[in-house]
């Protein structure tokens, strides 16, 4: 049909019109996340996640239930008894506590779900085809991060629910609204802590071509920081700022240095937050004073005083913000590195 015979008001099709109608979907990261989530659920790593967190719940819960039964007469009328399910374990092995066990294994879970997220796609030759789809390039890394964190958080919530159900049905302990709020806050903080290591594993998968090397580096960093972190902090503080006297003025420089280095280690930050959130009773010896004023306030605090959830969160707010900052920093580094990489075969 010629242009002269086209009725008035009828648009004339052009060669560029089909291209102008193409639109990149705005929720491409959700598509990637849903696909990765389904793959994680059916993977061997998910089964290992269930076994590890199941042991993290069953073994400490066995010891905690026995101690709670023995201390039941003395615990009558006491506050925060329900939280004892997460803070009491074996008297001989301090790591057999739900909160302590999660602090140790959570980094492993984050690394396990991210160390081959990008380099695995590159090794299989699927990364060029993945970024060639009608989605934004950053949707790939965003979707993979969300999927890994969602799987770990889902299992963590299930484990907390099982422990809570056991305490309610078998021990007859009913949580108060404050205790429920503390558990929710602890789960959210744990998600941020896992997110730090998940983002770090994602960064390794972007920077390192081989998945085996990425896993080796990630687990090596975990081993050094989680297992020997406190020893390294203490050694550095004693070497750089040794104590030359017995007064608080002479010991304060080392305490300040140790506190500063401690705030850079994710495991120590998470332990500080966990101790305060799951234990509403003030424990001045659990916190390292960073100044003479803090030391004097700690000495004047009333033993066994109970804090509200708001007071506890206010006390550990700097640690929570630092954990969020570490997670964002690792993810931004992985994001920038991935966006600048050449992914074509």
Model pLDDT for residues 51-74, shown as the tens digit of each residue:
877 776 777 676 666 666 665 545
Q: How far apart are CA 67 and CA 62, in angstroms?
A: 9
User: CA 184, 279, 79: angle at the middle one, nearest 5?
Assistant: 95
Q: How far apart are CA 246 and CA 304, in angstroms?
A: 28
Q: What is the mean pLDDT of the chain?
A: 76
Q: How far apart are CA 207 and CA 335, in angstroms?
A: 11
DSSP state of 302: P
Least confident range of 263-272, 304-313, 330-339 = 304-313
> Which tokens in the block code for residue 266?
């994710």
Q: Which residues of 27-51 are buried (b: 16+ CB within 10 A; e: fewer)?
A: ebbeebbeebbeebeeeeebeebee
Contact 152, 110 (CB under 8 A): yes
Q: What is the pLDDT of residue 121?
A: 86
The yes-or-no verdict on residue 148 having pLDDT over 80 is yes
Residue 61 Rama label (left phi>0; alpha psi -120 to 50; beta) = alpha
Residue 161: pLDDT band (50, 70, 90) is confident
Q: How far apart are CA 61 and CA 28, in angstroms?
A: 41
> Which tokens in the block code for residue 118?
């990008």
Q: How far apart are CA 318 and CA 324, in angstroms?
A: 10
The yes-or-no verdict on residue 225 having pLDDT over 50 is yes
Helix axis angle for 266-278 and 177-207, nearest 10°, is 170
> Which tokens in the block code for residue 21?
């109608």
Q: DSSP letters along 151-167, please?
A: HHHHHHHHHHHHHHHHH
Contact 245, 123 (CB under 8 A): no
Q: Locate tokens 């719940």: which residue?
A: 57
Mean pLDDT of 81-110: 74
Is pTM beyond 0.75? Reply is yes
The yes-or-no verdict on residue 31 having pLDDT over 70 is yes
Q: DSSP letters along 62-125, please?
A: HHHHHHHHHTHHHHTT-SS-TTHHHH---SS-TT-SHHHHHHHHHHHHHHHTTTTTTHHHHHHT
The yes-or-no verdict on residue 226 having pLDDT over 90 is no
Least confident range of 109-118, 227-236, 324-333 = 227-236
Q: SS in 3 state form for 30-53?
A: HHHHHHHHHHHHCCHHHHHHHHHH
The yes-or-no verdict on residue 205 having pLDDT over 90 is yes
DSSP state of 304: T
CA atoms within 13 A on the CB side of 205: 27
Q: Of 122, 135, 302, 289, which Cα lies nearest the Cα of 213?
A: 122
Q: What is the pLDDT of residue 291?
A: 46
Contact 89, 98 (CB under 8 A): yes
pLDDT digits (tens, 9 = 90+) for 248-286: 555 666 666 666 666 678 888 898 888 888 888 755 444
Mean pLDDT of 109-119: 88
Q: How far apart are CA 13 and CA 5, in angstroms?
A: 14
Q: How far apart are CA 57 and CA 78, in angstroms?
A: 24
């Amino acid at each position: 049909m010629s242009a002269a015979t086209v009725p008035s008001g009828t648009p004339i099709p052009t060669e560029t019109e089909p291209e102008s109608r193409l639109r990149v979907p705005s929720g491409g990261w959700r598509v990637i996340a849903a696909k990765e989530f389904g793959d994680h659920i059916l993977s061997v790593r998910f089964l290992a996640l269930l076994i590890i967190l199941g042991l993290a719940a069953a073994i400490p819960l066995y010891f905690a239930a026995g101690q709670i039964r023995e201390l039941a007469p003395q615990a009558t009328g006491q506050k925060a008894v329900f939280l004892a399910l997460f803070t009491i374990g074996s008297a001989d092995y301090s790591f057999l506590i739900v909160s302590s066990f999660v602090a140790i294994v959570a980094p492993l879970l984050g690394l396990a779900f991210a160390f081959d997220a990008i380099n695995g796609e590159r090794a299989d030759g699927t990364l060029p085809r993945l970024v060639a789809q009608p989605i934004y390039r950053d949707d790939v890394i965003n979707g993979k991060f969300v999927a890994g964190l969602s799987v770990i958080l889902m299992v963590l919530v299930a484990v907390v629910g099982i422990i809570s159900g056991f305490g309610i049905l078998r021990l007859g302990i009913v949580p108060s609204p404050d205790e429920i709020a503390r558990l929710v806050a602890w789960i959210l903080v744990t998600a941020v802590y896992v997110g730090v290591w998940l983002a770090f594993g994602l960064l390794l998968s972007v920077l390192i071509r081989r998945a085996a090397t990425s896993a080796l580096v990630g687990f090596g960093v975990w081993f050094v920081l989680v297992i020997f972190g406190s020893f390294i902090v203490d050694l550095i503080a004693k070497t750089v700022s040794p104590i030359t006297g017995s007064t608080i003025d002479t010991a304060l420089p080392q305490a300040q240095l140790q506190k500063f280095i401690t705030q850079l280690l994710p495991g120590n930050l998470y332990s500080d937050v966990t101790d305060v959130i799951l234990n509403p009773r003030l424990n001045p010896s659990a916190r390292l004073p960073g100044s003479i004023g803090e030391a004097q306030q700690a000495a004047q605090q009333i033993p066994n005083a109970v804090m509200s959830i708001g007071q506890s969160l206010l006390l550990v707010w700097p640690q929570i913000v630092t954990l969020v900052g570490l997670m964002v920093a690792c993810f931004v580094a992985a994001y920038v590195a991935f966006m600048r990489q050449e992914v074509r075969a």
